[in-house]
Structure 1
Amino acid sequence: MPNVEKQRDRLISLLKELFQLDQPDLDFGFYRIMHAKAGQVTKFLEEDLLGIIRNAFGEVDGARVEKAKAAYEAARKQAEEFGAPDPDAAPKVKEAKAAWDAAKDSGSNEGDVYDHLYRFFERYYDNGDFMSRRYFARETDGKAAPYAVPYDGREVYLHWANRDQYYIKTSEYLTNFTFDPTQAKEFKDKHGALFEQKPLKVHCRIVSASEGEHNNVKTSEQTERYFIIHEPEPVKIETGDTGEPELVIQFQYRPDPEKTGQEGTWRKTRLAEAAAKVKALLPKLDGAGDYVTALMTPAPTEAEKDRTLLEKYLTQYTGRNTMDYFIHKDLGGFLRRELDFYIKNEVMRLDDIESADAPRVEAYLAKVKVLRRIAQHLIDFLAQLEDFQKRLWLKKKFVVDTQYCITLDRIPEEFYPEIAANEAQREEWVRLFAIDVLDEYTAPLTTDFLQRNSALLLDTRFFDAQFREGLLAEIEAIEAETVGVLMNTENFQGLSLVF
């Protein structure tokens, strides 16, 4: 049974990764939502699931044992009635006894089921995503595994590996990354409840970022951007929303003229430099004593024996901004189909069944029944998680701000004095249209200048709400007058909003 316990623990460890429970220290977006439900998920994995497994084995094995025992007793009684000198040596009795012994030996079956569950879910899981590919064998670093394509018979069939998934390109996401190092497993193992009642929030922020790949602007080796520590102020302490001091680590995201060697190697080099800079400055920062203790906690890996929590989180931060991920459109349906496919190919081997005796076939069927029952529970739970992410992704996003660009010839002249006095609008016109080279240009602007240059485009974002609402109220049939709509959003959500 120790081997069975080991296989069970390995399965539970994988499931915690699938359910996003292996990163309790991250404090943003979907992870924050999952943390709120972490107790329920953990209870399911460590209590409910084990109960389901034990009940499944108990029901199946108990029924098989009782049935096999009754068959053995009936065969032995029949042999005695026929006057066999040694009833236990009769062929029918020996066969029934073998079936009974096989039914009682359920420990190996339980271990096999844990192993199959682990292999099944691990086969399709890759770096946080379920890849919708019907594998015949698990892909490894040294060998690409073939997979089946669901073909419906048409002459031309276009297929791509993640066809059944939404592709979420998070490259250069560049939002703040917040974590609490006191929630890390490594910290708790070393320091226990040292900061149990005092969370330590750390924010990684981009101070400045240069233009990246978009539309027809493609990246090259010279324009490839890197995370570089913000030298003027690498770290600082600021007051958070709760009134408590919080640590901020600041980065720039720009091309690096000093780059040498391979891109991946240079990223690691810059990341190591950032970590070294933070380690050097943190002890000198007022109020950062607790952060020094927390972030310097060892978090070694096989490849990086000296890694600390600081390096761990900086790696996660840069990875989060440069890694794409997928949301499955129907994870439950996909995994249920693949489960049947897996059972037929990996568990119910036809060659083995053909040459096996009846007790062996019954053992196969019992194993399949238990495996399928447990896997269905896990698939249902995973599907809820993925469907929740899908609903978040498909939910139409709120329009958080609306502004108008209007040429001056469409604006009543009664608004001109306020427009002329707006310094932000004047600076924008100088930057975009170089109005400062005109002979009649003055600072501040005059209403005469606006009248003579009525093609200038006013942007309502430079004015307060009262001005904007008053201006829009003066324009009749504004929807008909609007000649275009510009949205600051990514393509999928923008198209979903329009259509």
Structure 2
Amino acid sequence: MTTQDPEVRLRNLLKKLFQFEHADLDFGIYRIMNQKRDQIDKFIDHELIEAVDEALREYSIRTEEHVRNEIENLRMQIIDTLGKNAFLPTRDIKPEFRDTPLAREYEEKRRWLEEIETPKAEIFNHLYQFFSRYYQDGDFISLQRAKFGKYSYAIPYNGEEVVLYWANRDQYYIKTTEYFYNYTFEEGDYHVHFRVVEVSPSQDN
């Protein structure tokens, strides 16, 4: 089984959240989505990725600079403690000094510098996990993430006899599972189009 690219997986989820597959709907929130679809599409396919790339570039530069400063500080400490002869011309530690605490830390930092990689895939995975926790089958709702012992949820409790609590407490909840379509078909010489102009979904369900 092939693992989907984290960036592609996140983009697909966001398009699902914005209900791009229901672009034929033209009323209420769907009309707003259709009007803003090009902007949303541009953000998902381009601007979001560019923003992450830019943030990662700044992160990499700052991280690399910080590690280089640490390496130089350690090098000076080694010179003060063991002398300049502790180093080879390549700035590696001579074998006889490599077991000292400062030398081990120095070599470890140098390895870090060589292995610095931008955690792009990790960021996209975290974003995917965040959004997927609040969306399922057309509904925005908090999904169970972990169990505490035998209990599925842990709630704030101050000793009251009765506590009213619900999964999506303190969230603005929108029921979105009802999809209303416009239908068009042709029968002989006739072109028939059913257009939804007003919807009255059931309340408090």
Shared topology, TM-score over 0.5?
A: yes
Identify the match of residue 84 of structure 1 among 68, 86, 104. 86
Distance 2:74 2:32 in 1: 60
- What one-letter code is carried by the residue in structure 2 that aligns with 1:39? D
Deviation at 1:136, TM superposition (A): 1.9
The answer as to 2:69 corresponding to 1:63 is no
Q: Partner residue of 2:8?
A: 9
- What one-letter code is carried by the residue in structure 1 that aligns with 2:49? L
Q: 2:134, 2:142 within 8 Å by CA — same for their partners in 1?
A: yes
Distance of aligned partners of 1:131 and 1:285 in 2 relative to their CA distance in 1, 3 Å threshold: same
Q: Partner residue of 2:108?
A: 98
Distance of aligned partners of 1:48 and 1:153 in 2 relative to their CA distance in 1, 3 Å threshold: farther
Q: Partner residue of 1:286?
A: 189
Relative contact order: is structure 1 or structure 2 higher (C-alpha 8 Å, sep ≥ 6)? 2
Deviation at 1:38, TM superposition (A): 1.1
Deviation at 1:50, TM superposition (A): 1.5
Distance 1:41 1:103 in 2: 38
Distance 1:21 1:169 in 2: 14
Q: Partner residue of 1:130?
A: 140
Deviation at 1:161, TM superposition (A): 3.2
- Aligned with 1:147: secondary structure? coil
- What one-letter code is carried by the residue in structure 1 that aligns with 2:32? I
Q: Partner residue of 2:44?
A: 45
Q: Partner residue of 1:263?
A: none
- Aligned with 1:136: secondary structure? coil
Distance 1:116 1:40 in 2: 24
Distance of aligned partners of 1:148 and 1:64 in 2 relative to their CA distance in 1, 3 Å threshold: same
Distance of aligned partners of 1:120 and 1:104 in 2 relative to their CA distance in 1, 3 Å threshold: farther
Q: Partner residue of 2:160?
A: 154
Deviation at 1:7, TM superposition (A): 0.8
1:349-390, Cα deviation, whole Å (9 max, x unpaired) = xxxxxxxxxxxxxxxxxxxxxxxxxxxxxxxxxxxxxxxxxx
- Aligned with 2:142: secondary structure? coil
Distance 1:60 1:170 in 2: 40
Distance of aligned partners of 1:109 and 1:149 in 2 relative to their CA distance in 1, 3 Å threshold: same
Q: 1:133, 1:149 within 8 Å by CA — same for their partners in 2?
A: no
Deviation at 1:56, TM superposition (A): 1.9
- What one-letter code is carried by the residue in structure 2 that aligns with 1:15? L
The answer as to 2:46 corresponding to 1:72 is no
Deviation at 1:71, TM superposition (A): 1.5
The within-5 A match list for 1:306-345 is none
Show structure 2 runs of 5+ residues with no match: none
Q: 1:124, 1:132 within 8 Å by CA — same for their partners in 2?
A: yes
1:117-165, Cα deviation, whole Å (9 max, x unpaired) = 212221221122221356327xxxxxxx923334344231122334445
Q: Partner residue of 2:120?
A: 110
Q: 2:137, 2:177 within 8 Å by CA — same for their partners in 1?
A: no
Distance 2:159 2:113 in 1: 45
Distance 1:85 1:107 in 2: 27
Distance 2:68 2:176 in 1: 60
1:285-329, Cα deviation, whole Å (9 max, x unpaired) = 2155xx9xxxxxxxxxxxxxxxxxxxxxxxxx9xx998x7xxxxx
Q: 1:14, 1:118 within 8 Å by CA — same for their partners in 2?
A: yes
Q: TM-score, normalised by structure 1?
A: 0.31
Q: 1:61, 1:103 within 8 Å by CA — same for their partners in 2?
A: no
- What one-letter code is carried by the residue in structure 1 that aligns with 2:189? D
Distance 1:37 1:57 in 2: 28
Deviation at 1:169, TM superposition (A): 9.6
The within-5 A match list for 1:218-229 is none
Deviation at 1:37, TM superposition (A): 0.7
Q: CA RMSD in A?
A: 3.8
**Where has structure 1 moved over 6 Å in runs of 4 or more?**
none
Q: Partner residue of 1:234?
A: none
1:471-498, Cα deviation, whole Å (9 max, x unpaired) = xxxxxxxxxxxxxxxxxxx79xxxxxxx
Distance of aligned partners of 1:101 and 1:132 in 2 relative to their CA distance in 1, 3 Å threshold: same
Distance of aligned partners of 1:110 and 1:95 in 2 relative to their CA distance in 1, 3 Å threshold: farther
Q: 2:139, 2:176 within 8 Å by CA — same for their partners in 1?
A: no
Structure label with greater radius of gyration: 1
Distance 2:132 2:28 in 1: 25
Name the % identity: 33
The within-5 A match list for 1:127-276 is 127-132=137-142, 135-136=145-146, 146-164=152-170, 165=172, 177-178=181-182, 202-203=183-184, 247=185
Deviation at 1:68, TM superposition (A): 0.5
Distance of aligned partners of 1:51 and 1:152 in 2 relative to their CA distance in 1, 3 Å threshold: farther
Distance 1:27 1:96 in 2: 63
Q: 2:135, 2:142 within 8 Å by CA — same for their partners in 1?
A: no
Distance of aligned partners of 1:58 and 1:102 in 2 relative to their CA distance in 1, 3 Å threshold: same
Aligned length: 182
